[in-house]
Amino acid sequence: MVQKYNLEVKEILEKQFHIDLKGYATHEVDMFLDMIIEDYESYQNYIEELGTHLQRYEDENRKLNSRISELELKLKFESDKQVSVDQVDLLKRISNLEKEVFKK
């Protein structure tokens, strides 16, 4: 989301005011300061919006990391369970083979 601001840093630094009899033209200075205020308000709103987005993404990231951890634990448990089932199955097969071999 690209936001256009009224002033650039270079414009602020290079701004020249016309001098009246009593000093700078107050109307000109006031208009310039009003533009600066608008920009600062826009910056502030934009920063708050980005902060809101950042918080939402961090929350989502935490939830996803939590879910990943849960799935990794489940996968490890399933893997360990499968290994033990395979070992039990092998022991049963060996036992059946021994029975057949020694039966004779």
Can you give the residue ranges of every domain in the chain? Answer: 9-103
What is residue 59's predicted lDDT score, i.e. its pLDDT?
Answer: 96
What's the rounded mean pLDDT across residues 86-93? 77
CB 6 within 8 A of CB 39: yes
Each residue of 74-84: pLDDT tens digit? 888 777 666 66
Q: pTM for the complete prediction?
A: 0.51
Long-range contacts from 52-61, C-beta under 8 angstroms, 24+ separation: none
Each residue of 46-70: pLDDT tens digit? 999 999 999 999 999 999 999 999 9
Proportion of the chain above pLDDT 70, given as a percent: 88
What is residue 85's predicted lDDT score, i.e. its pLDDT?
Answer: 65
Q: Please write down the HEC assignment for all residues of 30-94.
A: HHHHHHHHHHHHHHHHHHHHHHHHHHHHHHHHHHHHHHHHHHHHHHHHHHHHHHHHHHHHHHHHH
pLDDT value at 1 more than 70: no
